[in-house]
Structure 1
């Protein structure tokens, strides 16, 4: 694109300097250079090419006019070229305005993106806190589980001890019964060890 514009500008340079068209071509060439300098975005280069094409047409017309003095038709052609140039400039201005609007939208999107990133960071922090609390709760739950198991083990040990004591106590009761002593669960014996309680079915001291 830049090569075409440069070629058109070079063609415009061939216009005879002593003719009125040479001045027109020089002005158009200056506008082409200005458009090339301003058309940094890719989508603006088309406007510069259009103006360069107009300048090239002016240059060609100028070369043709050097052999033909039909100034009336040439002036009409120049007016048409000026109109094409103005149209190209207007199109460039429209592109610049559209680019400005797009830049504003991009700025708004960037602001929204920054807000979303900030909210995302806050959510990540909250998630980290929740995960830390959950981990702590799991540790506490595990500690309680171990404590409950320990208490259950103690209760089981006490049950075994009580069962052992009951067995020992039962053995002692049986031994005492075998040796002639009444069981503590029996009725209270009389003060006379050798007395027989008739009809009771048990004696003390037998």
Structure 2
């Protein structure tokens, strides 16, 4: 499979990113690749601690920019401790959420100035862009119902699932706009497909866009 590649999965709540990450990692391993799967916020001990604070809603009262700063702090540690070292060892890295989640949740919906967020992103990732981003598109009502169905009895709704349906509809449109602006990096997939069919569609995109570029 050649050198490692960096793939990110994006989309709204309940879109099936974690399930797809497992399916793609299995197919890549069967094809002979070494694969690391990870998530954001998270992926390192410090980033997981920040994840807990964010999803519990403890940062929300300080505003969208404070959340963006916390996500960025988690991302820096995640990149330094996991993503860059994995890629340097020719692992494929599949990450459940990355920069586009910050662009959408804190940028578009949090109304942070685009220029300010872009400058923060530049400092945070230091040139590390995904080579492929799969955006899982799904009706937000379906996604929220899925998210509710996977919660354990007594488990509270997290920071973002608790937002209004209108919020999640705007989120969907914001993701689709990113895909329109960056078609070379992004591909939109129908997350309403059964998991196996979605995995087939994702594998087809991955095979076409990445495995044919190994010499590039």
TM bracket (short chain): under 0.3
Considering only CA atoms, is the larger Rg found in Structure 1 or Structure 2? 1
Structure with higher strand content? 2
Q: Scaled by the length of structure 2, what TM-score is found? A: 0.20
Q: Indicate the structure whose relative CO is greater, using CA pairs within 8 Å and at least 6 residues apart.
A: 2
Structure with higher helix content? 1
